Structure 1
C-alpha cells in the first residue's frame, strides 16, 4: 500500500528509500512498556484514553485548538492585515487535504502531540510553484527521526511498499516538551501515576459489579467437598453478586456464617483516590481541575479567571509552537520577515458581557478602538461612520495620523431666537 492510497487522491512525488529497514519496531518510536507497573496496570499511548481524566484532558486541548481561527498575517507599514489571497491560506482555513476538513485534521494532530509528544504531517508541494498543496498526517508510530549532517531526516514506514525518506523541509513536525529534537510523551512521564488511576477505576468497576459491597468469606465448621464448594460459590454469587442483587437479605444454611474482610471503599479513601487521580492528571497536562469536570474547588467567581489562566498558561505554549512551525515550514524564506501564521485567541480570552462592555468603553474613550472595531469583535456588521475614533477632550475626532482634530467654532445663537 503506497502513500497515495493512504492519504490522498493526488500524485505523490516524494523520495522513496531503496533499503527499507525491516526491524523498525526496535526504532525510536517503539517505546511501549511491556511490564506491569506497581499498581498492576500497564498504561501506554494506546490505552491511556481509557482513563477518564486523560480522555477529558486530550479532548479539552483538541476542542480548544480546533476552534481557533488560523490566519496568515501580513505586515503593511505600521499595521498588519489578514493575507487571505496567500496561496497557502486555504490549507489551514478550509481543507488540508482531500480526505478531511481543517477541524478533523486538528483533531488528529493535537491528540498525537499530547499522547505521543510528536505529530507529523507530510507536506506535499505543487510541482510548478513549489507551494504546499496538502498536509497529510502520519501516525507517530510509523515515523523514525534521525539527524544526518545537521538536518532532520524522517523515515516513514510503509506496510506493503518501500519506506519514504524525507528531510525536514517536507515534514510538518509539532513537538511537545523534551530535551532533544524529539518531544517526550506526557504518558511516558506520568506512567506510574496514570497506572494508579487506572487501577482505581478498575477497582471501582469491580466493586460496583459485585453489588457495591466489599468481598468477604463464608465460614463453616463442616468440611466441604469440591463439588459442594463449587455449588456454594456459584449459588452465592448468583443470588448476591451484581447491582441487581444489592441490599438483598443474605440467606445462609447449614451453619454458614458470612464475615466481611474489608471496609467500604468510602472509608478506604476510594473516592479520595479517584479525585486525586483527576487532580494528578490535571497537573501532568497543565490544566485547571475544573476543565476535567472537578468542580470541588471551583466557584462562580473564579471560573472565569481559571478560563483565562487556561488560555494563557496551558494553551498558549502549544499555540505558539504550532504558529512557529507553520511559519517555518509553509512559507518561503523571502516572506518570513513580513508574513506569518497567527491563531486568533480573542474568542477564548473574552470575558462575560459586562467585562467586555467595560473594556470596550475604556478603549473607545481613549481612541484605541472605533465603534466598528468593537462591533467586529462581537460579530456585528459595521455601520457608516463607525470607523472614526474619539478621545475624551470634548470627544474630539482623531484623524488618520492619530491627532486630535480641533473642534469647529460654535455657532452663536441669534438673539431674536432667544426671545
Structure 2
C-alpha cells in the first residue's frame, strides 16, 4: 500500500504520464466510461451521445435500459398485423404478407421487426433497404445499422442520398423515386433540433443511465475496498516541520489522490499516512447517501423516458398503477400501439410505391391478449347499441362488412 509523505522529494521530468495527467487535471475522474463523477469534482461528467456510446453504455451495460429496449422491441415485433389492399382486406397469400413473413434469407419477420424497433429505441433512426427482383418488386428487406448510414443533404437541405459505410467502403443509396419506388426507408423519431436524424428515448434517458451506472460502479468500488467511506487529508505540522505545505507537495498529493484514491474503482480504499498527515472522515456513508434509492430513482427516470411503467421492470417505489395488469394495459395503449402504428404507416406508404397499389398495414387489436379486457368492454358497448346497423357495428370492431348488413339488428330483410 502506497503511503502519503508530503516531504518526500517530488519526482522529476520522468514522472509517469498518468501522474502528470492527474496533477494537471485534478478535477477529472473516471470511475467508469460514460459515468457521472462527483468525488472532488466541480461538475458531473456525462457520457457522449453517439449511437455507439448509447448502445455501449446504455443497452450493453445498463440493465434497466437494456430491458426497456428489449421489452419494447420484442412486444412491438410480436403484434399481429392486418393488411388491406385498397378498401378490402388482402388475401393471406398477398406478396407483402410473404415478404414481411420472411424479409430476407437470414432473418424472419419477427426478428426483422424487432431489430427495426430496437434501433429506433437506441438511436432514434432505422434504415431499411429493399432489394428488387427482375420484375421490379422487392424480393428482400434488410435493416441497415444506423451508425453506418449517413444522410447526404441536397441543396435545399433535404436528404438526396444515404451513404452506407462498411469495411472501409461506401455505397450510395439514392433517395429519388423510380416509378414511385424508393430503395431506402428511413424511420425516425421526432427530433426538435435536427431535420435529418431522430432523437431516441435512450438519448433522453442518458442522464439517468449515467447516474445509474455511476451508482453501480461506486457501490462496487466500496465493496472492493471493504466499504470504507471517503474523507479528507488534514496536515498537522509538528516536529519542526513548516506550518504549511509547499506548492510542490500540494501538487504531488493531488496527483497521488487522483491516481490511487479517486474514482469508483478506488472508492473507500484506506490510507497509509505519514509526515504529519491525518485522516478526517467527511463524506457521508453509503447508508446516509442511500445509493440504493439513488439507483431506483435513476431507474425510474430511464423507464419514464422509454414509456415503460416501472412496475413492469420490478422497480420498487412506484405506485402509479393499482396492479400489474393495469400497468401492462397502459404500456400497450400509451407506448407500444402508437409506436407500431407509426412504423406500420411508414411501411405501408413505402411498400405501396413498390407494388403500385394502396396498402395499409395495421395492428390487429382483437388478437392482443393484453387488451382483451378493453375489447370485451367494446364488444358489450357495440352490442348494446340498437341504433347501429350490423355493418356499422362490425366497423367499430375492425371487421369487414357483410352482404345485407346495412340494416338495424332485428330488422327483417324485406323491411327496406
Question: How far does residue 170 in structure 1 lie from its aligned partner after superposition?
Answer: 0.6
CA apart distance, 1:299 = 7.7
Q: Mark the CA change 1:69 to 1:293 in structure 2 (over 3 Å): closer, same or farther.
A: same
Within-5 A mapping of 1:90-129: 90-92=98-100, 94-128=101-135
- C-alpha distance after superposition, 1:60-85 (max 9, x if no partner): 21111111123321344xxx424433
1:184 aligns with 2:199: yes
SS of equivalent residue, structure 1 residue 100? coil
**Is residue 325 of structure 2 the alignment partner of residue 319 of structure 1?**
no
Contact 1:308 1:349 in 2 (8 A): no
Instruction: State the TM-score, normalizing by the size of structure 1.
Output: 0.63
SS at match of 1:266: helix
Change in Cα spacing, 1:405 to 1:364, as seen in structure 2 (3 Å) is closer
Output one character per residue of 1:176-229: Cα deviation in whole Å (capped at 9) or x when no partner: 12131321233444433432221112112223344555468999x9x9xxxxxx
Matches within 5 A, 1:177-216: 177-179=190-192, 180-212=195-227, 214=229
User: SS of 1:46's equivalent?
Assistant: helix
Residue 158 (structure 1) aligned with residue 166 (structure 2): yes
Unaligned runs of 5+ in 1: 1-33, 224-256, 378-386, 390-397, 409-419
What does 1:141-152 correspond to in 2, within 5 Å? 141-148=147-154, 152=160
Structure 2 residue corresponding to 1:70, chosen from 75, 78, 81: 81
Aligned residues: 314
Provide the rounded CA distance (Å) in 2 between the counterparts of 1:176 and 1:36.
26
Asked whether 1:274 is paired with 2:279, we answer no
Deviation at 1:306, TM superposition (A): 2.7
Task: Choose which of 156, 173, 185 in structure 1 pairs with 2:186.
Answer: 173
Compared CA separation, residues 56 and 334, structure 1 to 2 (3 A) = closer
Flag the structure with more relative contact order, 1 or 2, with Cα contacts below 8 A and sequence separation at least 6.
2
Matched-pair contact (CA < 8 Å) for 2:65–2:202: no
**Counterparts of 1:281 and 1:112, CA distance in 2:** 17
Distance in 1 (CA, whole Å) between partners of 2:375 and 2:73 is 26
How far apart, CA to CA, are the structure 2 residues paired with 1:133 and 1:98? Answer: 10
Contact 2:231 2:281 in 1 (8 A): yes
- 1:296 matches 2:309: no
SS of 2:54's equivalent in the other structure is coil
Q: Structure 1's 112 and 266: CA in aligned 2 closer, same or farther, altered over 3 A? A: same
How far does residue 319 in structure 1 lie from its aligned partner after superposition?
A: 1.6
- Given the superposition, is the C-alpha separation of residues 275 and 186 from structure 1 closer, same or farther in structure 2, using an over 3 Å criterion? same
1:16 is matched with none
Q: Is 1:113–1:175's contact at 8 Å kept on the other side of the alignment?
A: yes
Structural mapping, 1:2-151, within 5 Å? 38-40=43-45, 42=47, 44-47=53-56, 48-49=58-59, 50-76=61-87, 80-92=88-100, 94-128=101-135, 130-148=136-154
- Paired residues of 1:176 and 1:183 also in contact (CA < 8 A): yes
Task: Note if contact 2:161-2:174 (Cα within 8 Å) is conserved in structure 1.
Answer: yes
CA 1:213–1:399 in structure 2 vs 1: closer, same or farther (change >3 Å)? Answer: farther
**1:74-100 per-position Cα deviation (integer Å, ceiling 9, x unaligned):** 344xxx4244332222122x2110001
**1:334: Cα distance to partner?**
8.0
Q: In the aligned structure 1, how far is the partner of 2:366 from the partner of 2:304?
A: 25
Q: Deviations over 1:35-69 (max 9, x none)?
A: 87554563522321211221121112111111112
Counting only pairs closer than 5 Å after superposition, residues 286-365 of structure 1 correspond to structure 2 as: 286-298=307-319, 301-332=322-353, 335=356, 337=358, 339-348=359-368, 350-351=370-371, 359-365=378-384
1:1-49 alpha-carbon deviations (Å, 9 max, x no partner): xxxxxxxxxxxxxxxxxxxxxxxxxxxxxxxxx9875545635223212
1:403 aligns with 2:400: no
Q: Report the TM-score, using the length of structure 2 for normalisation.
A: 0.63
* Unaligned stretches of 5+ residues in structure 2: 1-32, 37-42, 177-181, 240-277
What is the distance in 1 between the residues matched to 2:35 and 2:318? Answer: 34
Separation in structure 2 between the aligned mates of residue 300 and residue 191 of structure 1, nearest angstrom: 25
CA distance in 2, matches of 1:406, 1:186: 53
Mapping 1:187-266, distance limit 5 Å: 187-212=202-227, 214=229, 262-266=283-287
